[in-house]
Structure 1
Amino acid sequence: MSSGTFCPRCGDPIPARAEPRPGEPRERDAVLCDECYFEDFDLVDAPERIEVRVCSRCGAVHKGNRWVDIDAEDYTDVAIDRVTESLGVHLKAEDVRWGVDPEQVDENTIRMHCTFSGIVRGTHREEAVTVPVHIAKQTCQRCGRIAGGYYSSIVQLRASERLPTSEEEARAVEIAESYIADREATGDRNAFITETLDTDDGVDIKISTNQMGAGVAKRIVSELGGAVEEYPTLVTEDGDGNEVYRVTYAVRLPAFSPGDVIDPDDGDGPVLVRSVQGNLKGVRLTTGDAYEAAFEEGEAPDARRLGTADDAVDTTVVAVEDEYAIQVLDPDTYESKTVARPSYVDPDADSVPVLSSRAGLSILPGGAVGRTDTDARE
């Protein structure tokens, strides 16, 4: 303990205080009496004003050097966090307690009334500060890119020897939207679809990055079948001189799709297509047996397209001749005709769905509609 001394500012005696420990710096104002010490003492160091940058389109908040999505109906909580981060409490204060009372002045201004208390030199101190927070509406980089039509890749949905059906187009867009939504959910602000365009040949989906364009194309092919080819185009160079490419991912669906009725070149009669993932698979309409294209034929065997399951109509069963033949009423001529009876036909059925094509009448399985697209384009 040092002996009592006098305050160098006012000359009043001050009590003796403990000397700092070896190696510990001596506080410059330690020689002052409490009254003089607290004349220049600030319990809290607060900024005069805080600005919070907010995207007026998506509501994201700029923090540090990036934009952050938040889940909030207003920005009071954001203002409280910013004020809390910017306030500094004196290092000599102990047992510090504080509170914040926000006051909404107008749409873009919040006054933060902050109160602090603590123990300094064994004395209870309180201080109140008011920090105005201004909400500055701006446009984040992501929304700016979307508004400006920015994209790095295009996923083009096409089909071999035909046009994609409306259902295929709709499903491809759903797949793309789901993929991008999954990326957004992980916090990836570079994930967005700029535009979806209907064209005479299919649908074009403009996507923010090449990596996401590739991911969307892969998912479409995985579900709808077909193949994808990449066509990169050099568009510019970045600040480091690296070449920047825009990639078109051309997704070409198979010539046939689920719900199509085809006539393979094998002499065994029409087939209702069930799947085009990998090898084309379906059911033979003459027997009801499963059909699978040869490995080398893949998803597009040599076949004629006779129609779709949506073209089928119900017709009356006249008589069941045996396990291989059945008489039905031709829906076009109303004549009784004997046709092949596939194994899936119920012998007690009063009516069956039939498709009339260049191959004659074919009985389809009940509920065989492979798609709901009644506007399928030839």
Structure 2
Amino acid sequence: MSSGDFCPRCGDPVPEREEPLPGMPRDRDAVLCDSCYFEDFDLVDAPERIEVRVCAQCGAIHKGNRWVDVGAKDYTDVAIEEVTEALGVHLQAEDVRWGVEPEQVDQNTIRMHCTFSGFVRDTHVEETVMVPVMISRQTCKRCGRIAGGYYSSIVQIRAEDREPTKEEAERAVEIAESYIAEREATGDRNAFISEITDSGEGPNIKISTNQMGGGVAKHVVRELGGSFEEYPTLVTEDGDGNEVYRVTYAVRLPKFTPGDVIDPEDDGGPVLVRSVRGNLKGVRITDGTEYEARFEEGDAPEARRLGTVEDAEETTVVTVEDENAVQVLDPETFESKTIARPTYFDEDAATTPVLKSRAGLHILPEEAVEKSDE
């Protein structure tokens, strides 16, 4: 623009301004004088109102096309963020400064008083706008599914030829809850347990997705031993015609548990079970040597259960005969009996825990019995 041009609206002279560089857009209002320019000038472009969709159950907010966990007890910060994203500042403004002062009108309404200032055409301008933010309480997809009992997989906790112990059942549920909680902590809103029931034979855990059901089953087996199998059932088709399956993960805990005393069919003598992770491991209670089931025997060998460490009774040590034998009192008849002396037996002990079973009388490790009493 050259010197001597006049404002097309009022006829006043317009100061000379720099021409835009080649290829840059031309400001159509550049021909106006400052007075006419600022008559229609808006420093801030603000919406009349903003609606924030909030889940009344979990507190998540809806952003874009998805629900997002924010962990907020009140939504003032959320309202400030939404208003900040919605406001637009004039492109010609320089050195812009702004501030927001929220006013809580009621539980579902926050008035956002926004003050902006900056320089346009070397002139200081300031503008204040008020944007009401309405909190719309709804139910997110996740909470709706939980309320409706939705699930895609079931993890069944069972045991081989027995019922899971109370400790096993409780631990399996803890493992499931911990696994799902870890997934939730990463922001996975598809992670939830919809129901846990007791079938009488063990817990049934209904989980949101098949992938997470498989993850829970793997973690349970990894800690408690045993194995699991998958049984898919076709339930429906999705909108694209893909088959949707619900999967049952049948976890089968081992036949024996740590603390059991068993008699394998190998003529090596009874074994105190210490671990059932992978293959069964323990210690021979006749001599104290380590025992490990062979790979071909699977989770556990063919064996009969003689009792557990909880069945142990404290009895008097009469005398140590030699490195292989010790004489103790029978806890039932109080007769003196010579029995095998395992390497873990303390020769200076006045008493020792023993287990009397169909296989005879055997000394158990002191620490194993003490652990069972805890």
SS at match of 2:300: coil
The AA in structure 1 aligned to 2:260 is D
Query: Is the partner of 1:368 in helix, strand or coil?
Result: helix
Following the alignment from structure 1 to structure 2, what is the Cα–Cα distance between the partners of residues 177 and 326?
49
Amino acid of the structure 2 residue aligned with 1:113? H
CA distance in 2, matches of 1:78, 1:84: 10
1:316 maps to: 316
Q: Distance in 1 between matches of 2:70 and 2:369?
A: 45
Which residue in 1 is equivalent to 2:263?
263
Partner residue, 1:143: 143
Could you tell me which residue of structure 2 aligns to residue 82 of structure 1?
82
1:28-177 correspondence to structure 2 within 5 Å: 28-177=28-177
Distance 2:308 2:195 in 1: 31
Does 200-209 or 291-300 show the bigger shift? 291-300
- For residues 218-248 of structure 1, give each alpha carbon's deviation from its aligned partner in whole angstroms, at most 9, with x where no partner exists: 1111221111111000000000111100000
Q: CA separation of 1:370/1:254 partners in 2, compared to 1, >3 Å: closer, same or farther?
A: farther
- Tell me the TM-score normalised to structure 2 length: 0.96
Which letter maps to 1:316?
A: T
User: Which residue number corresponds to residue 274 of structure 2?
Assistant: 274
Q: Distance in 1 between matches of 2:356 and 2:143?
A: 53
1:229 match: 229
Q: Deviations over 1:165-191 (max 9, x none)?
A: 111111111211121122112211111
Matched, 1:218 2:225: no
C-alpha distance in 2, partners of 1:372/1:289?
21
Shift of 1:372: 5.0
3-state SS of the aligned residue for 1:301? coil
Identify the range of structure 1 (184-193 vs 13-22) with the bigger mean alpha-carbon deviation: 13-22
Kindly provide the amino acid, as one letter, of the partner of residue 235 in structure 2.
Answer: V
C-alpha contact 1:166 1:373 (8 A) present in aligned 2: no
Structure 1 residue identity aligned to 2:368:
A
Query: How far is 1:157 from its partner?
Result: 0.9
Runs of 5+ consecutive residues of structure 1 not aligned to the other structure: none
Is the partner of 2:247 in helix, strand or coil? strand
Secondary structure in structure 1 of the residue aligned to 2:368? coil
1:53-92 CA-partner distances (Å, limit 9, x unpaired): 1111111111111111113332111111100000000011
Matches within 5 A, 1:177-216: 177-216=177-216
TM-superposed deviation, 1:213 = 0.7
Match of 2:338 in 1: 338
Structure with greater contact order relative to length (CA < 8 Å, sep ≥ 6)? 1
Structure 2 counterpart SS, 1:174: helix
- C-alpha distance in 1 between matches for 2:58 and 2:350: 59
* 1:11 equivalent in structure 2: 11
User: Which ranges of 4 or more aligned residues in structure 1 deviate by more than 3 Å?
Assistant: 369-374
Match of 1:347 in 2: 347
Separation in 2, partners of 1:243, 1:373: 52
Q: Cα distance, 1:370 vs. partner?
A: 9.6
Q: What letter is aligned with 1:120?
A: V
Shift of 1:17: 2.3
> Secondary structure, in 3 states, of the residue corresponding to 2:367?
coil
1:72-114 residue CA offsets vs partner (Å, 9 max, x unmatched): 3321111111000000000111111111111112222111111
Aligned-residue CA RMSD in angstroms?
1.7
1:195–1:205: 8 Å Cα contact kept in structure 2? Answer: yes
CA-CA distance at 1:350 after TM superposition: 1.5
CA distance in 1, matches of 2:178, 2:115: 47
Q: Deviations over 1:337-370 (max 9, x none)?
A: 2221111010111211111222222211012149
C-alpha contact (below 8 Å) 1:167/1:372 kept by paired residues: no
**Equivalence for 2:243:** 243
Whole-angstrom distance in 1 between the partners of 2:370 and 2:296: 25
Note the alpha carbon deviations across 1:309-348, whole angstroms, 9 max, x for none.
1221222222222222222222223333222111101011
**Is the Cα–Cα contact under 8 Å of residues 154 and 205 in structure 1 kept in the other structure?**
yes
CA–CA distance in structure 2, aligned partners of residues 351 and 36 of structure 1: 106
Q: Which one is further off, 34-43 or 268-277?
A: 268-277
Q: Is the 8 A contact 1:284 1:290 kept in 2?
A: yes
Looking at structure 2, the residues matched to 5 and 84 of structure 1 have their Cα atoms a distance apart, in angstroms, of 39
* Change in 2 beyond 3 A, CA 1:158/1:222: same
Equivalent residue of 1:13, what SS?
Answer: coil
2:369 and 2:209 map into 1 onto residues whose CA distance is 37
Q: Are residue 20 (structure 1) and residue 17 (structure 2) matched? A: no
Whole-Å separation in 2 of the counterparts to 1:263 and 1:323: 23
* Residues 307-316 or 242-251, more deviating: 307-316
Q: Distance in 1 between matches of 2:45 and 2:297?
A: 77
User: 1:281, 1:291 within 8 Å by CA — same for their partners in 2?
Assistant: yes
Q: 1:236 to 1:370 in 2, by over 3 A?
A: farther
Q: Using the alignment, how far apart are the partners of 2:239 and 2:281 within structure 1?
A: 51
Secondary structure of the 1:323 match is: coil
2:61 is aligned with what amino acid?
A: V
Q: Does structure 2 conserve the Cα–Cα contact (< 8 Å) formed by 1:309 and 1:370? A: no
Partners of 2:324 and 2:278 in 1: CA distance: 31
Give structure 2 stretches of 5+ with no counterpart: none
Give runs of aligned pairs for residues 351-362 of structure 1, distance below 5 A.
351-362=351-362
In the TM superposition, what is the alpha-carbon distance from 1:371 to its structure 2 partner? 7.3
